[in-house]
Amino acid sequence: MNGNKKILALAVLCAVASVGFVLPASAEETMQHDLDEVIVEADRDALPGGLVRTTARLGILGDKSILDIPYSEMSMTQKTLSLFDDPSQPLANVLQNNPSIRSSTSSPMYTDFSMRGVNMNGNHMMLNGIPSLFYQFTTPPSHIIDRIDITSGPNAGVNGVNMSNNGTDGGTTPAPGTINIITKKALDTPITRYTQTFSGRSNLGEYIDIGRRFGKNNEWGLRVNAEYMDGGLSLPGTEKNEKNIFFNLDHKGEKSTTNLFAGHFDLRVNGGQRWFTFGGSSSSLPGAPNSKMNYDFPETTKWVHGYLMTLNHEQKMDDDWSWFANFGQSRRSGNKYNSNASLKFDDAGNFVNTNRANAQNEAGRNVYAQLGLKGKFSTGTVKHNVSLAFDRSYAKYWNDSNNGGYNFIGGNIYDGVIHQPGLYPLPEMRYAKPSWEETNVGITIADSLEFGKAQLFLAASRKHENFVNLINGQKIVNNNILPTYGLTYKPTEQLAIYAGHTESFSRGSVVTNGTKDYVNDGETLDPVKSKQNEIGVKYQNAGILTTFSYFDIDQANMIDVEVDTGKNLYRRAADGKNRYKGLELTVNGKLAEKWTITGGLMYLDAEREKTQNGASDGLFVNGVAKWSSVIGLEYTPDKDWGIVGRAVWNDNAFIDNTAAAGGKTEIPSYVTFDAGIHYKTKINTVPVKLSAMCYNVTNKDYWMGRGGSTTFGLSMPRTFMVSAQFDL
pLDDT of residue 570: 57
**Does the residue 359 lie in any domain?**
no
Confidence band of 503 (pLDDT split at 50, 70, 90): confident
pLDDT of residue 199: 96
**Does the residue 163 lie in any domain?**
yes
**Does the residue 353 lie in any domain?**
no
Convert the pLDDT of each residue in 538-555 to its tens digit. 999 989 999 999 999 887
pLDDT of residue 16: 38
pLDDT > 70? residue 566: no
Q: Which regions of 35-132 does DSSP assign to beta strands (E)?
A: 55-57, 63-65, 72-77, 101-103, 113-115, 118-120, 125-127, 130-131
**Does the residue 31 lie in any domain?**
yes
Confidence band of 526 (pLDDT split at 50, 70, 90): low
* DSSP characters over 609-637: ES-GGGTTTTPBPTT--SEEEEEEEEE-S
pLDDT > 50? residue 258: yes
pLDDT > 60? residue 29: no
What mean pLDDT comes out for the span 194-207?
A: 97
- Structural domain including 63 reads 3-298+500-727
Convert the pLDDT of each residue in 333-379 to its tens digit. 999 999 877 899 999 999 998 889 999 999 999 999 999 999 999 99
Number of domains in the chain: 1
**Does the residue 220 lie in any domain?**
yes
Closest CA to 426 of 340, 515, 337, 353: 337
Compare 236 and 18 and report the one with higher pLDDT.
236
Is residue 156 exposed (0-12), middle (13-18) or buried (19+ Cβ within 10 Å)? buried
Long-range contacts of residues 471-474, Cβ cutoff 8 Å, at least 24 apart: 471/435, 471/436, 471/510, 471/522, 472/522, 472/523, 474/523, 474/524
CATH number for position 97 = 2.40.170
Convert the pLDDT of each residue in 304-328 to its tens digit. 999 999 999 999 999 999 999 999 9
Distance CA 231, CA 238 (A): 8
**Does the residue 487 lie in any domain?**
no
**Does the residue 440 lie in any domain?**
no
**Does the residue 536 lie in any domain?**
yes
Considering the entire predicted model, what is its pTM? 0.89
